Chains A and B, each alone.
Chain A
């Protein structure tokens, strides 16, 4: 899979998200009030507006909710076409857009079990680890 990627968003919250990824952990913001997860990064809980959030570690177990394949190039030739993307539901409940690590759209069925993996990538800010999803081992 392509290692050179379009730039990550950096700054408040995002720096922390990517720092956890570099340690091999997928963590999302969890609300101290309602306990729900927010993603992408927020300054206050997207469900209840509470400002106190911590970074909760995800188990990495997930199921495929939807998927789409880009047949048109939106990135000026930097990513090959076709380009595979998936929407997964993490075991903890949040939906997360990612890439399939070892399968294509032809292999997917609704609810297919997948598990977290990290891919060594690079953007203009340097190397980083990107959370992607592989077929779950039976």
Chain B
């Protein structure tokens, strides 16, 4: 194991708070595209990262009300491969002075673009992300990542002789320990899947919009016992584009600017399984969360909306508890009481997250925050929303961000 880089993101600083803003957002048609891919209608062509990114970009540009010439930066995040940044710029008809190939999942790309805008490298960046996970047949588990051109060993490859594999198996260990420690049952965790489906039913672009009852959850097959199918996120194709601009140039545009107020980062250094399974990443979430709050100059109690990386139901609960929104062991009762719904104490993943809406690796959560803070989220709008928190957390790291509504 190599020692991790000290920072994946620029170090959080008060002086970088509210200096940049999201002024445009575009997403592909997750629901329609998922149905089309499943139906395999004659003439249907599988999407490519390029086609998905182009759709998301054109929509974000239109949403921002800017002209193509106003975009002087391009950041490209094709998680599972795609064209390089220069050829993407040509495809999109852009001539940016700032061009970056910028990771994949939402664990750093936005923070890096914000820092580069603050540093004066450019004023207005289109950030494009796309995945064609289904189109390439990507599977999560086993000895290699199936569906990739190169045979990429997975992070859990040490455990193959014991037949232990997949991201899902991490969350299964987390849930089994949590369940035993707090004396909970499957129906308690099922409440999270049911709540997120309810949220997705108010999102016309969510992949899954059919009602899901606790009985449906309990009757669903196990993937890695004790986790059911509905405890694990979707796999679907799509793209997201965010247009990010210097905050002082973000006023008087088509929408209220969504200011990037704070971020933080913390990674597990040693004893990964202990921190993940027995601590639910609490030390890392506490550390990174404190950094983000400090940078943003807000208190935890100021956060009115939370969007967390819901690779699994239990992982979302770990984040709620780890940041301190709920006491350890209390997350599932909080959910069952309806506190994660719009109108509850802390609305969570109100667009349906990755469990029911779209597996866009955190980009969909930031898109949801953008709509919520602009107050244009339609039927699922949180009333009088001013401050939202996003959390990208995986098995060994936490990257929270805080966004506020600008004037």
Interface residues of A (CB under 8 A from B): 2, 5-9, 14, 36, 38, 40-49, 65-72, 74-76, 79, 82-83, 85, 87, 94-95, 97-99, 105, 109-110, 121, 123, 130, 132
B271 touches A71 (CB 8 A): no
B269 touches A42 (CB 8 A): no
| Given contact pairs A72-B223, A110-B177, A87 touches B163 in the complex (Cβ within 8 A) | no
Residues in B whose Cβ lies below 8 Å from that of A68 = 169, 172-173, 176, 224-227
Q: Give the residues from 125 to 173 in chain B that come closer than 8 angstroms, CB to CB, to chain A.
A: 141-143, 157-166, 169, 172-173
The CA-CA distance from A130 to B261 in the complex, in Å, is: 51
| Given contact pairs A46-B271, A47-B270, A76-B142, A65 touches B278 in the complex (Cβ within 8 A) | yes
| A83 closest partner in B (C-beta) | B163
Q: 15 A-B Cβ contacts within 8 A? A: A5-B161, A6-B143, A6-B161, A43-B2, A47-B271, A66-B177, A68-B224, A70-B169, A71-B224, A74-B142, A85-B164, A95-B277, A99-B163, A110-B180, A121-B161
A/B pair count, beta carbons within 8 Å = 120
Q: Top 4 nearest A-B pairs by Cβ distance?
A: A68-B172, A46-B270, A74-B141, A110-B180
A44 to chain B, nearest CB (A): 7
- Is B221 positioned at the interface, with any CB of A under 8 Å from its CB? yes
Q: Give the residues from 14 to 29 in chain B that come closer than 8 angstroms, CB to CB, to chain A.
A: none
The CA-CA distance from A83 to B224 in the complex, in Å, is: 9
Query: Which among B158, B162, B227, B277 has the greatest number of chain A C-beta atoms within 10 A?
Result: B162
User: Which of A7, A45, A79, A110 contacts B270, CB < 8 Å?
Assistant: A45
| Given contact pairs A46-B271, A68-B172, A75-B142, A97 touches B159 in the complex (Cβ within 8 A) | yes
Interface residues of B (CB under 8 A from A): 1-3, 141-143, 157-166, 169, 172-174, 176-177, 180-181, 221-227, 269-274, 277-278
The CA-CA distance from A132 to B162 in the complex, in Å, is: 8
Residues in B whose Cβ lies below 8 Å from that of A85 = 162-164, 169
| Given contact pairs A8-B161, A68-B225, A85-B164, A42 touches B1 in the complex (Cβ within 8 A) | yes
Residues in B whose Cβ lies below 8 Å from that of A105 = 225
The CA-CA distance from A5 to B162 in the complex, in Å, is: 7
| B227 closest partner in A (C-beta) | A68
A49 touches B3 (CB 8 A): yes
User: Which of B180, B224, B274, B277 contacts A70, CB < 8 Å?
Assistant: B224
| A8 closest partner in B (C-beta) | B161
B161 touches A41 (CB 8 A): no
| Given contact pairs A66-B173, A74-B165, A82 touches B225 in the complex (Cβ within 8 A) | yes
B212 to chain A, nearest CB (A): 20
B162 touches A98 (CB 8 A): yes
A95 touches B273 (CB 8 A): yes
Residues in B whose Cβ lies below 8 Å from that of A36 = 270-271
The CA-CA distance from A86 to B206 in the complex, in Å, is: 36
**4 extra interface residue pairs, beta carbon distance < 8 Å, beyond A9-B158, A49-B3, A97-B159:** A6-B160, A8-B161, A68-B172, A95-B274
Residues in A whose Cβ lies below 8 Å from that of B174 = 66
Residues in A whose Cβ lies below 8 Å from that of B176 = 66-68
Query: Which among B163, B166, B278 has the greatest number of chain A C-beta atoms within 10 A?
Result: B163
| B272 closest partner in A (C-beta) | A46
The CA-CA distance from A76 to B143 in the complex, in Å, is: 10
A7 touches B161 (CB 8 A): yes
A123 touches B142 (CB 8 A): no
Residues in B whose Cβ lies below 8 Å from that of A132 = 162
A49 to chain B, nearest CB (A): 6
B277 touches A65 (CB 8 A): yes
Residues in A whose Cβ lies below 8 Å from that of B172 = 68
B177 touches A71 (CB 8 A): no
A14 to chain B, nearest CB (A): 8
The CA-CA distance from A40 to B163 in the complex, in Å, is: 15
A87 touches B173 (CB 8 A): yes
Residues in B whose Cβ lies below 8 Å from that of A76 = 142
User: Which of B142, B158, B165, B277 contacts A66, CB < 8 Å?
Assistant: B277
Residues in A whose Cβ lies below 8 Å from that of B165 = 70, 74-75
Residues in B whose Cβ lies below 8 Å from that of A70 = 163, 165, 169, 224-225
Residues in B whose Cβ lies below 8 Å from that of A42 = 1
A65 touches B222 (CB 8 A): no
A65 to chain B, nearest CB (A): 6
The CA-CA distance from A74 to B143 in the complex, in Å, is: 8
The CA-CA distance from A46 to B1 in the complex, in Å, is: 8
